[in-house]
Structure 1
Amino acid sequence: MKQFLSGPRAGISSGLPVLYTVAATQFIMPFMFSGVAVTLPVMGQEFGAGGTALGLVESIYLAATGALLLPLGRLADMAGHAPLFRSGVLLYAVSTLLLSFTQDMTTFILLRLVQGTGAAMTMASNMALLTKAIPRSERGRAMGIAVASVYLGLSAGPFLGGAIATHLGWRWLYILGTPPLALAYLLARRNLKERWQPVTEPFDWAGAALSVCAVGLAVFGGPRLAAGPGGILALAGSMVCGALFLVVESRTANPLLDLALLRRNKTFSFATAAQFINYAATFGITFLFSLYLQNARGMTAQETGTVLLVQPLVQTLLSPLCGRLADSMPAHRIATAGMACCTAGTLMAAMTGADTSMAFMLTMFVVLGVGFALFASPNMSIIMGSVQTGRYGIASAMAASMRTLGMVLSMVLVTAAMSLHTGDAVVTAENADAFISAMRWSFAVFSALGGFGVALSLFASLSPDAPRE
């Protein structure tokens, strides 16, 4: 592949077509994901769907994405990263268009499952494509651009999705989202010429099945932990499947996940663990402050969205710069500084009360945005730079899996705090004090996790001459 002829002297220009292609999908898919949330109330009214069904719209997408990452990452290493990526973009685009024509909730949820599968196919291969296309000296900059595209999509989704749903109807979010996805597919067809490769070794079907069950049950059951026995049983099943997965992988000749990679490659292990901790310590922030600003402070949804926009905007602006910084400085130091900033932000959040000034909150969101920007692309550079070419797919999938599972843990902690302090009551101005107590407890736990993550990130060092797996 011409796009992958990127030796040490090639520079980033030889990988620009791949970077453009990955960045396009990194924008449009997070845009669609974050935009869907604001359309759910209107769609629920049209279909007569209750809260459980609307919750499935989000959870089944996350479950499909998280559960399939490891098997698809291994498949990408065996059969080709580019063809899996192209197929994922096409599947995502087709399912997005079909969603606009659905007439019942069951069909909609099933199509969200298909859409999540397409997202998993791209996520399992996108960082692998970038790592192969971009030389190490420019990799941080490229990943910074890719990460900035994600944050830009996440930032634009709620704002534009709300405007589309309000003025045109919820179906138009999917209709208008299809052309950019079609363009991303055409870019992938043009710039990623690699074809499917014959598979020369057996695929670990037992490990894949256990991996899908373990992650899928965790993603599905985690947010429902306080809702009744269903969530507890799902998490218990997840732990059983996870334990069986480790047993199977340790005895399989061609495992889905080579456990020796985690044992011998400390750089990879610590960096992926830091990825998990970072998302576990930060993902619940937007959810909590959305409730706080509207129900405890009386702000409108539009005003709340404007305040919450500060953090991802800072991330979007700084991520390319932080990625470039990781090319000229030790990436682990930058990632550690980012984790420390995120921890400082959660400590500030833990001090939030009923009368906290807007200036304090905006400063907190800026600190969090700087922290995310400093951490995300340098840490991804560490992860992808610590493995050989034949492991790029599984490394990309592991990083995405740790991100998803970190989000799940974050929401489990938030759910537990809400259950202890507010019970099943709807958050209103009347019980705002109890909610603020739950919020502050959550942020205190997040801060402790962040402190542990700083220590992990310190160990995730990789110098240019460090031994590679």
Structure 2
Amino acid sequence: MKRERWAGLVVISVAVALIIVDSTIVNVAIPAIVDDLGITSTQVQWVQESYTLVFAAFLLLFGALADRYGRRAVLLTGVVVFAASSVVAAFADSGTALIAARLVQGLGGAAILPTTLSLINATFRGRERGIAFAIWGSTIGGMAAVGPLLGGWLTTEFSWRWAFGINVPLGILIVIGVLVFVAESRAERPQPIDWAGALISVIASGSIVFALIEGRTYGWWFTEEAPSIGDWTWPYEISPIPFAFAIGIAFVALFVVRAITRTRAGRPVLLSPDLFGIRSFRNGNIAAAIVSLGEFGIILALPLWLQNALGYTALQTGWVLVALAGGSFVASGFASATIARFAPVTIVRAGLVAEIVGLVITGLVISVDTPWWAIVIGLFVYGFGVGLATAQLTNVVLREVPVARSGEASGTQSTSRQLGSALGIAILGTLLFSTLEADLRTQLGDAPGADQVVSAVVDSAGAAIPAIEQQSPEAADAARESLSTATAYSAYAAAGFLGLGLLATLGLGSGRREEDAAPAAAPEAPIASEGERRD
């Protein structure tokens, strides 16, 4: 039985790898997709972001569905949906078909992530629990770096269609593994699903994430690029982003008020406010959201800098980023060896310190002639920190949550991380491109054609530099230096966010070792009830 649980953990980790790799692999394949399908810049944007939008919006709902209908059942459904939509994406003959497939992929991913968390929470206890979360977290950190390498290889050696097609054999293996090694678990006394609350949560999360990921494109206040659907184009000077934020905030308020009212009346809710009475869950979610502002933010800037400033190919860029994956996987073994001696929150803080150090090292060595090994050192240290902090922070957030409510809590934790990540990418992306523009304008001064060069470099995220070099090597050199400066600033900013996250972990206690002496919960029949301990 014990051997089956660990085999099940491997399968669960591969399921997480499936969605993490897919979210990064597509970025590398985009140029080939543009060449093959001839899609517009707007469609390019939605191929990348439609998945993220749906994924973030439905995490909370699928977490609740897992508690009621079975965590393994929801995980299997998510994997099947994800694999089936990957087939559609692989055979897409237009941008519209590809975007539609990506939207459905987002649904599958939203069903997978929180159920993997809740299955671990329901299956493991004590020291084993910390080891299990270490493996789960290291998989996320490692796969975020492996994705670009895999995408570069598949796109270069075969076709961009294999960036989606590879999900099919992986999905089949996961389904078989889940059926063989993962036992079903669900709440003993599940409540009916609050479908109205689910709709409100989808609108709230979707609106806020849309505003965060599209703000730089459409304009944070005034319209810079009018969004369009078919023949319809946004007609106002005010950007749609403030409206999206307003809708999101209004629906968050409605969700909270409605949840409190229905809870007092004894009626079912999607997310019960009493979960936030658990100190580790409440403060852990706050810390996780803040940490997510900085975690993986550098992954946005580094590939652009490596390819457009240093001239690396997509495959070479992927190999450099493998250092992050290596650090993350090493952290898994380190956490497994130390979890018996140190409290999870102590390991979280050590991981955040390592992340900050890694980002500072990376920022310090970034220049137009940085050797690859210098970047690898910083990324390895950073990846080591990610492998420690991501896993054990999740462990801390869920450790006191009743097993019967694992899905509900996992969906909440995943949503808080996703919102924090979207906010971090929005801020770091804005910093990257505004710094690039300001620094390049300063370097070029009043030189002829300066405005055109700046616009070309910023709008293309540096991809226009090789073309500029053919006309003006001096301007291209200035662009490379400015992109390097902007990337270094992004690394420092990400380190600053992680510093705030480190401070936020002070609300999680002293970090003294506290053994969780509860026996491993039987996956088939979790015995935790609604009345389990509260802070």
What TM-score do you get using the length of structure 2 for normalisation? 0.79
The corresponding residue for 1:246 is 256
The 10-residue stretch of structure 1 (400-409 or 426-435) with the greater mean CA deviation from structure 2: 426-435
Q: In the alignment, is the contact (CA less than 8 A) between 2:127 and 2:339 conserved in 1?
A: no
Where structure 2 has 5 or more consecutive residues not aligned to the other structure, the ranges are 220-238, 438-454, 466-475, 518-531
The corresponding residue for 1:167 is 157
Larger radius of gyration: 2
Name the CA distance, whole Å, in 2 between partners of 1:126 and 1:357: 39
Q: 1:256 to 1:448 in 2, by over 3 A?
A: same
Where structure 1 has 5 or more consecutive residues not aligned to the other structure, the ranges are 4-11
Name the CA distance, whole Å, in 1 between partners of 2:150 and 2:4: 34
Aligned pairs, how many?
458
The corresponding residue for 1:145 is 135
Note the C-alpha offset of 1:194.
Answer: 3.0
> Is 1:458 the equivalent of 2:477?
no
> Is 1:374 the equivalent of 2:388?
yes
Matched residue SS, 2:339: helix
> Is 1:362 the equivalent of 2:376?
yes
What does 1:273-352 correspond to in 2, within 5 Å? 273-352=286-365
Name the CA distance, whole Å, in 2 between partners of 1:320 and 1:120: 28
The 10-residue stretch of structure 1 (199-208 or 157-166) with the greater mean CA deviation from structure 2: 199-208
Letter of the aligned partner of 1:93 in structure 2? A
Residue-by-residue CA offset, 1:283-333 (whole Å, 9 max, x unaligned): 220221222223333444333332222112211232243144224421111
Letter of the aligned partner of 1:372 in structure 2? V
Residue-by-residue CA offset, 1:27-60 (whole Å, 9 max, x unaligned): 2332333222222211122211122211211211
Q: In the alignment, is the contact (CA less than 8 A) between 1:143 and 1:323 conserved in 2?
A: no
Residue-by-residue CA offset, 1:234-287 (whole Å, 9 max, x unaligned): 23322222222222222123222222322x212112222222222211322022
The equivalent position to 1:445 in structure 2, one of 493, 505, 511, is: 493
Residue-by-residue CA offset, 1:90-136 (whole Å, 9 max, x unaligned): 11121112222222211211111111111111112111111222232
The corresponding residue for 1:420 is 434
What does 1:108-187 correspond to in 2, within 5 Å? 108-187=98-177
Letter of the aligned partner of 2:204 in structure 1? A
Matched residue SS, 2:170: helix
Name the CA distance, whole Å, in 2 between partners of 1:355 and 1:235: 38
The 10-residue stretch of structure 1 (79-88 or 140-149) with the greater mean CA deviation from structure 2: 140-149
Name the CA distance, whole Å, in 2 between partners of 1:200 and 1:333: 34
Letter of the aligned partner of 1:266 in structure 2? R
Note the C-alpha offset of 1:402.
Answer: 2.3
Give the CA RMSD over aligned residues: 2.6
| Structure 1 runs (4+) greater than 4 angstroms displaced | 195-200
Residue-by-residue CA offset, 1:147-181 (whole Å, 9 max, x unaligned): 33334433333223222222222223333331121
The equivalent position to 1:92 in structure 2, one of 65, 82, 85, is: 82
Q: In the alignment, is the contact (CA less than 8 A) between 1:341 and 1:370 conserved in 2?
A: yes
The corresponding residue for 1:52 is 42
Q: In the alignment, is the contact (CA less than 8 A) between 2:149 and 2:317 conserved in 1?
A: no
Q: In the alignment, is the contact (CA less than 8 A) between 1:223 and 1:415 conserved in 2?
A: no
Q: In the alignment, is the contact (CA less than 8 A) between 2:356 and 2:495 conserved in 1?
A: yes
Matched residue SS, 1:194: coil
Q: 1:301 to 1:15 in 2, by over 3 A?
A: closer
Name the CA distance, whole Å, in 2 between partners of 1:111 and 1:96: 7
Note the C-alpha offset of 1:408.
Answer: 0.6
Note the C-alpha offset of 1:71.
Answer: 1.2
Name the CA distance, whole Å, in 1 between partners of 2:516 and 2:255: 34
Q: 1:180 to 1:442 in 2, by over 3 A?
A: closer
Q: 1:374 to 1:418 in 2, by over 3 A?
A: closer
Name the CA distance, whole Å, in 2 between partners of 1:69 and 1:326: 29
Matched residue SS, 2:91: coil
> Is 1:237 the equivalent of 2:247?
yes
> Is 1:387 the equivalent of 2:395?
no
Identity of aligned residues (%): 25
Name the CA distance, whole Å, in 2 between partners of 1:402 and 1:207: 17
The 10-residue stretch of structure 1 (187-196 or 137-146) with the greater mean CA deviation from structure 2: 187-196
The corresponding residue for 1:6 is none
Letter of the aligned partner of 1:309 in structure 2? V
Letter of the aligned partner of 2:515 in structure 1? P
Residue-by-residue CA offset, 1:327-374 (whole Å, 9 max, x unaligned): 442111110111122122333344455357435433321221121122
Letter of the aligned partner of 2:88 in structure 1? L
What TM-score do you get using the length of structure 1 for normalisation? 0.89
Q: 1:202 to 1:320 in 2, by over 3 A?
A: same
Name the CA distance, whole Å, in 1 between partners of 2:366 and 2:17: 35
Note the C-alpha offset of 1:198.
Answer: 9.7
> Is 1:69 the equivalent of 2:79?
no
